[in-house]
Structure 1
Amino acid sequence: MVRKKVFLVVIGAIAAILVGSLTHFKVIAQSPTDLDLAVYHAPIHYQDTDSTKYRGDYITRFDYDSDWRGTNNWDNLQFPLNAHAYYSVAETCTHWFITYSFFHPQDWTDIPFDQEHENDLEGQLAIVRKDGSTFGKLEGIVTVFHTDFYSYTPSGSPLLNGAENIDGTLTMSSYNGSLHPLTAQEAKGHGLKAWPYTGDFQGASNEDGIIYYPSKTTAEVPASANDRNVQYLLLDVFAPSGVWQHQLDEASLSSSSALTFASWGTFKGDSSGGCGDGTPTCSTNSANAPWGWDDSNDGSVYKGEMALDPAHLTDVYFDGLGTFDTTYIRNRFIQNLRDRGYNSANLPQGWPTQLNLNSLIGKLKNQCL
C-alpha cells in the first residue's frame, strides 16, 4: 500500500512538471520554403504585346531553346515560349528580400532609327517584413525600367521617401489565397513598373496583352497575344545548372571563352538572326542579370546591389523602416562567391569597381541575436 502511494506521488510530480513546462512552451511556426515564399508574394504580371511581333513579348526562360548559348536566343524565337520567371531570396533577421526577373529572348523595335538587342531580363525586388506570420508582410517593391529603378508601396506601408522618391501605390489582387502586387511590362523594350504605370495594356478586352499568374508547377504557353490567364513557373536562380551556376562557372572566363555571359552580370548577345535588320541598330552584350542591374543616378547604390545587397539598397531608398537589419543570415550570392575563393583581391572578371566584395562578405552572419 505504501509503495503504491509513493508511486502515485511520483507520477503526480512528473505530471506537474510536464504541465508546468507546457505553460512556458511557445509554438514556433515553420519557416516557409523559398519557393513558397516567392509564390506567395509573386506579381500578377501584365505584359503588353505588340502585333508586329507579339512572340517577342512572351516571357520565358533563358534556356528555352534547350541550350545556354546567349548568342542564339534572338535566332530561336520559333521554339515554344513556356512562361517562366526567376526568383531569389536573401534573408536578414528582420526581412526577406525576393528578386523576380522576367526573360525575353529579344528586346526589339519596329521604330525607325531605334535600337534593339538580343536577350532581355528586367524585374523587381520585393521587400517583405518578417512580422511573425508565416509569409511576412510586403512593404514595398523596386522595379527595373531599363537603366532606372522605380519604387512602389502598398496602402498602409510604413515606408517613406528616402534618398529616392516613392513613385506610386501598388495595386494588390487576391489570387490562390494571398494578395499579390500587380506589375506591368512594356511591349518591345520590356521596361517594368507597377501596374498600371507603364505600357498600353491594363487588361481591357480591346487591348493587346497577356496576364501572367504565378505557379509552383505549371509553365503555360499563351494561346494568343491576348491571353488573359497564363501561368508562369517560378525558377530558383540558385537551382543546380541554373543561371547563377552558369555565372559562377564563367566568372573567371573571358568573353570569347564563355557561353552565356560576356562579363560579370551581362549576358552575351550578338547581331545574328536579324537583330538590327532594317533601320534599327543592334547592340551586343546589352542584357543584364539581377546582379548586373543598375540605376544610372541613385548615388551610393551600385551596380548589382538589388540582388547582391538588397538590404543596403532598401536602407538608402526608403525611410520609415523601423527595426531594420542590414546583415544577412542567408545570402547565396555572397556565400557562393566567398566559397569559390573570390574576394577584393580576386574578383570575378568584370566585377563593378565601386562594389567592395570584402565588405559584402563581411555582412554575412550565422544567426540572429
Structure 2
Amino acid sequence: MVSIRRPRRGFVARAVLPAAVMLLSACGTSPLEGEALGETRGALAGNAGSAAFRAALAKRWAPIHYQDVDVTGSHAISGKADYITRVDFDGDWSGTNNWDNAASRALPAYVYQSVVETSSHWYIVYTFFHPRDWFDSIFDTEHENDGEGVLLIVERNGTEYGSLVGAVTVAHKDFFSYTPDGSPLTSGAESLDGKLSTADFEGLQHPITAQEAKGHGLKAWPQYDINGDGVKYYPSLTTAEEPSSASDSDVRYKLLDIYGSEGLWTRRSLSELFASDGTFRGDTSGGCGYVAGQCGTNSANAPWGWDDGNDGAVARGEIATDPAKLAAIYFSPASRFSTTYTFNPFKGVGDANAP
C-alpha cells in the first residue's frame, strides 16, 4: 500500500498575514493581480534559496512518469536501454563509457530537478537521463547519453507550494507547451499543444509525463504513452528503485538537486563529462550504431543546452536558465510573469548551497 504524505502546512498558517492579503483572499482575488501582489504573496511562501524547500517543492509537483520500453533488438538490453537513471550510474563521471556500461550495471531511477524563482513564479525543470539513445533499424542514428525533460511553471499564490499553471516539454529538438485544467494561461507566441493531465499520488495531484522508447522524446501524457512494455515511475526524495521488469508499474525515482553535490551544474566544466557548454561528451565505443557512421558523438544535452530551433527569441538553454523569459513568450498574458529572478544559480543569483 502506498502511504499518504501530506505537504507541510505550518509556515503559511503561522505567518502573520497582512490585512490587505487577507482581504484579497477573502474576496476571491485571482492568484496574481500585478507584480506588487506577486511580490507580497511570494514573500509568504518558501524561498528557493533553501535546498530543503527546493526538494519539497520539486517533490510536490514531480511528474508521475510513463516510460515506454522496447525489449527487442540487440541494443535494447532487454528493455534496460529505456530505463531512466543518473549520469554517474556506473560510478564515474565519464560521458564516454555510459553506453558501454549500461548492459552490465544496475540502473536505479533518478531524476534531476532544478528550481529558479521570481516574485511571481517558481520554475522547476525535471531532467530524465538515459545512457543510450538507441534504435533497432539500420536507417536510424544512435548516440551515447540522452537528456530530455520538462519545465513546470508554478504560480506563487501565497500557499506553500503554489499552483501549477503550465508546462513545456522537450522532445529532441522541439518544445511542446501544455496547461492543466483551470490554468489562467493561454497560448502566446507558441500555440498550446494540449492539456497537462494529472493523477493522484500520495493524496495529491501530480502531472503525468511520458517518454517514447528508444529516442526518449518527452510529452504530456497521453500524447506519448506506454505501448506494450513500459515502466511507471513515481517520485521520492529518498528511494531510487530499478524496475523489476520492463513492465513494472510501480517504481520510485529519487530526485537529485542539479545544483547539489550529486548534481550536474557544479560539473559543467568537467571535460570528461561535457564536450562543450551543456553538451554531454559521448563517443562511438561499445557497439553504438548498427553500421559504421550511424553513431553520433557529443549528441546529447543537459538542460542548459536544450533548444527548440524555431521558437524565435528563446535562446539555447533558456528553458532552464531563463524560464521566465520563455514563459512570457510561450504563454499569455505575459504580464503575469515577473522576469526578475530572486533565485537562479544558472545566472549567479542566490546561494544554491544554502541549507
Which TM-score applies when normalising by structure 1? 0.79
Write the mapping of 1:77-226 to structure 2, written as runs, cut at 5 A: 77=102, 78-201=104-227, 207-226=228-247
Q: Does 1:43 align with 2:63?
A: yes
- Alignment of 1:56 with 2:69, yes or no, is no
Give the alignment partner of residue 297 of structure 2, picking from 284, 294, 305: 284
Deviation at 1:174, TM superposition (A): 1.3
Structure 1, unpaired ranges of 5+:
1-21, 202-206, 251-257, 340-369
Question: Could you tell me how far 1:177 is from its partner in structure 2?
Answer: 2.9
For structure 2, list consecutive stretches of 5 or more residues without a partner in the other structure: 1-15, 23-42, 48-52
Alignment of 1:171-320 (within 5 A): 171-201=197-227, 207-240=228-261, 242-247=263-268, 249-250=269-270, 258-278=271-291, 281-320=294-333
Of 327-336 and 273-282, the range deviating more from structure 2: 273-282
The percentage of counterpart residues that share the same residue type is 54
Structure 2 residue aligned with 1:254? none
- Using the TM superposition, give the Cα deviation of residue 324 of structure 1 relative to its aligned residue in structure 2, in angstroms: 2.0
CA displacement 1:101-137 (0-9 Å, x = unmatched): 1000000000122100000000010000001111000
Conserved 8 A contact 1:114-1:280:
no
Structure 1 segments (4+ residues) deviating >4 Å: 22-30, 336-339
Helix, strand or coil for the counterpart of 2:81? helix
1:348 corresponding residue in structure 2: none
Task: Number of aligned residue pairs: give it.
Answer: 305
Partner Cα separation in structure 1 for residue 332 and residue 136 of structure 2: 41
Instruction: Classify 1:30/1:297 alpha carbon distance in 2 versus 1 (closer, same or farther; 3 Å).
Output: closer
State which of 7, 24, 31 in structure 1 corresponds to 2:46: 31
Q: TM-score, normalised by structure 2?
A: 0.82
Structure 1 residues 278-335: Cα deviation after superposition (integer angstroms, max 9, x where no partner): 4770000000000000001000001000111000000111113553201100001110
Name which one, 1 or 2, has greater alpha-carbon Rg.
1
Q: Aligned to 2:336, what secondary structure does the other structure show?
A: coil
1:199 Cα offset (Å): 4.5
> What is the SS of the residue equivalent to 1:127?
strand
Aligned partner of 2:90 among 65, 71, 81: 65
Q: Deviations over 1:52-78 (max 9, x none)?
A: 211000000000000000000000012
| Aligned residues of 1:113 and 1:279 also touching (Cα < 8 A) | no
Superposed CA RMSD in Å reads 2.2
